[in-house]
Structure 1
């Protein structure tokens, strides 16, 4: 099968590279042609537009920053995609968005599968990211070899829209954990404890989290370089708050976290790293959370 990949940013570039390294024929496109250089070096083919890519592929994967961009790119894909093409949407969308866009695709004979991923850019680079699949089970099974090339754990969540819900839930938890980890580390620092030793103790405790193990290291380094920005975090938290209203679930922790991220964007800008949300606390109390021996980026 010939796969097209649109969106070669922090995440998409690694995922497309994993496909190509596993021997799949891959055609790539991004609004910034420079992002494709390493893919072309691996033997991928460049397409000058999303439409040109779709005309040449059996399946098109998109990894894009917002529902608005996803809809615009899908429109270009549908102009040229052959009936029977699969659109695999890896962007984080709301349930209503993916269902609406899937209806648009179906009207042109294109099947839709949702495949948001979770775990961080560093795991995508290793081909070990977690993939959350939604849609027709037979369609998911048809593309399973490609999924296994990009990710380590693949969860089939159910009908189309199911993966959108669980992806938002996982991101909501990650942002709550991020704020909590900053508060925990600050308590340790202001309590006079060694931060490196405190990080290790938390990691080995019942208070540990994936966020503490990964993003906690970037905070202690001071780089905050997680490859995910405030605007994207606010988009996902906005989806979570919508689900809370739709499903009649009061989300007190998520709501407070959403408010904190709004403050973070106001202070540092929407393009700031999402981990810089902890800098709000550092700035508020005039204390940096720094320790030796932690990486600037996760490998």
Structure 2
């Protein structure tokens, strides 16, 4: 493998992406404030660094997967950040979810460094199996240079256009996912209150014109009662905020997204921002006074 990578941000998603790089033979240097996360990757073959700058200097290229544009900016340009370590002509691959304006601004900050935005979609369980999808924005030649690494982490990748393009499509896919999640909860509650067997109802919807990826996956966690999707209410609200901002900027009224955003605000108030986003369905369970449980569904999604 001709390219080496620093990887900063080893949470639920980033840790799995970095592990896929290692499994596929790439030299990976890692840094994270969570020492246990670093140790897990070192056990797989990564090298630990003392800072983001140290990791970037050792590898020559850097990948980040972080919770917000504010954190991304701090890791990129703050003290001990990537720009202190990346060599001129090195590449920063940003796999965090950002708004279009945020990633354009951050790319401009990365003076002397080439930038690819590469948010992913599909869920933590697909990242763990190397089967998640990458949405890429940036120069086509730069994408080809790092395509082997992207495809080591992701089963499919789509070059959407210049920097900012991937942010738009990623926010769109997440907006759809949250709308589908709320809709799936309402559908299952109608089935429950209509006297139907919930497990049979789940499978019937999967085989119907009303199916969605979110129903196939997250409805299982609702029916189990774990809600454990590895993605929080705070992150959902961040992404919905990006979507509503784009709607305003582009002149598109987003009535469904606005309503779903309000529902997630209720969910955060009820259960906390660190609650799993799938727990949003519990608002409906609490309102009706019954839960949505059925045997035979997993506590976590697996491939």
Q: Would you call these one fold, judging by a TM-score over 0.5?
A: yes
TM-score category, normalised to shorter length: over 0.9
Which of 242, 247, 258 is residue 245 of structure 2 equivalent to? 242
Pairwise CA distance, 1:38: 2.2
1:204-262: per-residue Cα shift (whole Å, max 9, x none)? 00000000000000000000000000000000000000000000000000000000000
Q: CA offsets, 1:135-177, max 9 Å, x none?
A: 0000001000001100001111011100000000000000000
Structure 2 partner of 1:33: 35
Aligned-partner Cα distance in 1 for 2:106–2:178: 27
Of 94, 97, 101, the match for 1:96:
101
Counterpart CA distance in 2 for 1:82 and 1:151 is 26
Shift of 1:57: 1.4
Q: Deviations over 1:50-98 (max 9, x none)?
A: 1111111121000000010000000111122110110000000011111
- Which of 59, 68, 79 is the matching residue for 1:57? 59
Normalization by structure 1: what TM-score? 0.99
Instruction: State the alpha-carbon separation in 1 of the partners of residues 45 and 214 from structure 2.
Output: 35
Give the 5 Å matches for 1:67-216: 67-75=69-77, 76-105=81-110, 107=111, 109-216=112-219
Runs of 4+ in 1 over 6 A off after TM superposition: none
Shift of residue 36, structure 1, vs aligned partner: 1.7
CA distance in 2: counterparts of 1:188 and 1:82, whole angstroms: 58
Measure the CA separation in 2 of the matches of 1:39 and 1:273: 24
Q: Do 1:28 and 1:46's aligned partners in 2 also have CA atoms closer than 8 Å?
A: yes
Q: Secondary structure at the match of 2:115?
A: strand
1:182 to partner: Cα distance: 0.2
Q: CA deviation at 1:103?
A: 0.8
What's the CA shift for 1:33?
1.1
Aligned residues: 297
Any conservation in 1 of the 2:5–2:56 contact (CA below 8 Å)? no
Instruction: Decide which of 289, 297, 301 is 1:294's aligned counterpart.
Output: 297
What's the counterpart of residue 271 of structure 1?
274
Q: Secondary structure at the match of 1:11?
A: helix
Q: Unmatched 5+ residue regions in structure 1?
A: none
Q: Deviations over 1:257-283 (max 9, x none)?
A: 000000000000000000010000000
Report SS of the residue matched to 2:116. strand
**Alpha-carbon distance in structure 2 between the residues aligned to 1:125 and 1:188:** 32
**Does the aligned pair in 2 maintain the 1:57–1:85 contact within 8 Å?**
no
Counterpart-to-counterpart distance in 2, 1:51 and 1:142: 22
Determine the C-alpha separation between the residues in 1 that align with 2:284 and 2:299.
20
Distance 1:157 1:201 in 2: 35
